[in-house]
Structure formats: structure tokens, C-alpha cells
Structure 1
């Protein structure tokens, strides 16, 4: 997909990979709309763009269906949209499932799955009318591989995986290209944004992929219209291992948690 002059919306644009996706898209000559619940983060992104004339933002809770419908109506009444990147997401505390409070589990699904679905259902009818359009959904390594202490997060990202892959089939006869992204360990503020204070991480977090590198990989895949992207050596390796020997893959990932949960 040729990105120059395309109008792309990015959720989670107030920090991390979302912010880097925005900066990369602007370099490609796109018009970009950032969406995030964190207004301060969006203002910082705007500052980092150099107050770019092709950048704008909207403070929106993507888990709120009415708010997303209102966002879509406001944007589409003024401009066309050629792509949506559903990047926003949160994780859970590194705890066994029985210790995750119901409201915490519900919030994770509200953001990761329902937020993604809200964006898709609000913008897809418009995207289908565009000559060329794209829909990028960010799942996770935890969406295809069980990670101890991240069962609810993994379930929400597995739901995103299935939703995205099903959309890829449903939209084959349209001009909308669907891309599913599976990042491994990322060096972002996702724990802070998820309001998590515990210190549990994956042991290989020090080798986690930098968000600017991940963003460039994703945008390159968009340009090539790749349907699936595994980002980071850990995601690529664990995907292959899990397909060949699931039990060994589970043992490997379990051993990388830096403390007992």
C-alpha cells in the first residue's frame, strides 16, 4: 500500500509503539489522527512531531462504544480515513487467574478486545468504500502462547487474533487489507499505562524490542501488505517452537518469568 497522503488513525497514540507508529507514518507523508485516553500523552506526541501540520489527536476511551461512534462521526464528517491501526492495549498484574479481580479482568477485555471491536465496527463501513484501505490489529505473543501470570491479557489478545484473522477472510473480496501483528517483549510504558506496580517481567525484557524499531517493521509490512507480522526474535522463535513442541515452548516461557507468581 502506498502510504503517502493517506489518512491513518492510530489508537494508543499517547505513548510507546503508538507514538512511534505516528512518527513513522508522518515521515512517510501520511496524515495521522492519534487516539488515546491520556490527553497529556497525546500532547507530548504532538510536541514530538514538531507540531506537525498533518497530525491531529482526539482524547477518546476506545472501550466506550458511544464515544467511539461519536469519534467516527466527527472524523468522517470532515475527512476520509484510509486506515486504522488498533494498537492500544493494557496488560494485567503478573498473578494467577484466581487472584485477578473481576473489574481488572473486565477492564482488560474492555480495552484490548471491545476497544478494538468498537474501532473496527465504527470505521470499517467507511474503509470498505475507499479505493485502498488497511486495518491493522495488534495482538501479542501472549495471544498464541500461554504466558504464566498473563492469562486474562492472553485471552483478550487471542480474541483479537481470531477476530483479525476472521476479518482477513471476510474482507478478501474488498479493498481493505487486514494485518495482524504479534509483538514479543517490548520496551514501552504498558505496565505504567495499565496501572501495574509489581516488578514481574520476562527475563529477556532487557533485550526487548524498542518501539521505534517495531513501528518501522509494522509500517514496512503495511506497505508490502503482509497479512501477519511477528515482531521480535522472541515472538518469531516462540511461534515456531509452539507449533513444533507446545510443551517445550510453555516450559521455556515459564522459565523466563523473573519471579514466582
Structure 2
């Protein structure tokens, strides 16, 4: 779906990849409904839109709040007249601890945002999308969906659930006007740690340098996602780390898991 002239809803639009998606969509000629928990962050996104700010509406809500999400389509249609796309980018991580030490509340919070959030928005907006001549649904999963990361087991489970949800939607919507894309970012420079209100791991030395070398910028990630939308891609990996590990996880899953465990064990060393 070419995004010029369309209206796209973006969750997680307050910063990181979500903010860059908003700015990228505006550059490509779209209108955007920007969604985030933080009204302050949304205002910053709108400010960065500059002269294109008149094509952005901001909607401060938590995607885990089903009632709030169910009221969102009416607000978006009232502002823009239509909805042609939905990009579920909102996401949080868990505290960097093993599942054994993770509180149930933390597990439930991660699932509420990362899995139930996209379920809520998809159920709310899909009737509008299928009514359009061309529409697109994007769910941003994670490399953690197909590779276990120490100290992020619940997060990985939430993103794996989102992956299969997206693939199921792709199958169900195959004969409709709605294209579906699942996205697997690798290490990306965003504020997800701070936004998740968890203490960042203290990584230094070779591990820190290796992580820095592999990280993708949020703007590059957003550009790759929008390129995928415009060519109706089924799935896309972002970053060399995600691309390489995607292949390795298919060919030698235990070896891939062992490699990640070895390289990322510092996440649990603090």
C-alpha cells in the first residue's frame, strides 16, 4: 500500500521507532493518528512534525486499556475521515531477571501492552480497514520472538504471541483488501528501557562494544518498516543481527539459542 494520501494509526508514537514512523509517514504524504500513553511525548512528536503537524492528531491512551482503545476509531475518523493503516509499535520490556524471580504483575503488564494492546487495536480498527480499497496492518514483534534472551523470557513470549497473531491475521485476511506485515527488529536505539520503568543492565567492555556495533537507529528501523508497507511485505527483519539470527534460528535453533545466551549473559550479571 502506497502511503501517500492515506491515514495511518501508529501506537508507541511518543518516541523511538514509533515517533520516527510518524515523521516518516508525514514525509511520504500520509496523515497520522499518533497514539501513546504520554501526552507530553506525543506533543514532542507533533512539534517535530513542523509544518506537517496539521496532518497529525494525538491520542493519549494506554493500548492495554480496552475501553479507551474501543473509543479510538471514532476519534480518528472524526479527525481524518478514514483509516487506511494501523502500525502497532507500542511495547515494553520486563525487568532483567529470570522468570523464577519475575513478579506476576510484571509478566501481566508485559503481556497487556505487547500482546493484548495489538489485539485491542486490531479488533477496534479492522472493520474500518477491511472497508477500504487498500489497507495495511503492521505488528512490530522482535528478534526476541524467535530467540530466547536471558532475563527477557516473558517479553520474548509476548512478542512470539504477537508474531503468530500477525501470521494468523495474514492468513485470515488473504482474500481482503488488507495486507499484513510482521516486523522483527534486532537491537535498536530507543528509549524502551526507560519507558518500561526497569533498571538498565550494566554492560561494559567487549559486550557493550559488540552491542553498540549491532544497534540500528530508530529512523532506519522506521524507514525499513514503511518500505515494507509500500511493497506489502509479509515479514521483515531489521538490523544485521536480526537478519543473521533469523536464518541461524531456522537452520540450527539450539546453536542460535546458545550463541545468544553466551553473548547476552551479562544482562543477568548485575
**Contact 1:200/1:257, CA 8 A, preserved across alignment:** no
Q: Which has the higher helix share?
A: 2
1:27 aligns with 2:27: yes
Shift of 1:55: 1.1
Question: Which residue is 1:67 aligned to?
Answer: 68
TM-superposed CA distance for 1:73, in Å, is: 2.5
Cα displacement string for residues 198-221 of structure 1 (whole angstroms, at most 9, x for unaligned residues): 325674431210000011111111
What root-mean-square deviation, in Å, do the aligned CA atoms of Structure 1 and Structure 2 show? 1.3
Q: CA deviation at 1:146?
A: 1.2
Measure the CA separation in 1 of the matches of 2:13 and 2:211: 22
Aligned partner of residue 239 in structure 1, secondary structure:
helix
Q: Equivalent residue for 1:186?
A: 188
| Separation of aligned partners in 2, 1:188 and 1:206 | 12
Match 1:256 to one of 257, 263, 268: 263
Report the Cα distance in structure 1 between the residues aligned to 2:101 and 2:136, rounded to whole angstroms: 39
Q: Distance in 2 between matches of 1:119 and 1:57?
A: 16
1:134-164 per-position Cα deviation (integer Å, ceiling 9, x unaligned): 0000000011111111100000000000000
Are 1:218 and 2:219 matched, yes or no?
Answer: no
In the superposition, the TM-score normalised over structure 2's length comes to 0.94
* Aligned residue in 2 for 1:230: 237
Mapping for residues 1-261 of structure 1, pairs under 5 Å: 1-50=1-50, 52-78=53-79, 79-200=81-202, 203=208, 204-207=210-213, 208-257=215-264, 259=266, 261=268
Question: 2:32 and 2:73 mapped to 1: Cα distance?
Answer: 14
In 2, Cα distance between equivalents of 1:115 and 1:70: 14
Post-superposition Cα deviations, 1:32-59, rounded to whole Å, max 9, x if no partner, equal: 1100001111011111111521111100
C-alpha change, 1:34 and 1:244, in structure 2 (3 Å) is: same
CA contact (8 A) 1:200 1:258 kept: no
> How many residue pairs were aligned?
261
Deviation at 1:197, TM superposition (A): 1.4
Instruction: Please tell me whether the aligned partners of residues 201 and 267 of structure 2 are also in contact (alpha carbons under 8 angstroms).
Output: no
Contact 1:94 1:200 in 2 (8 A): no
Distance 2:172 2:265 in 1: 41
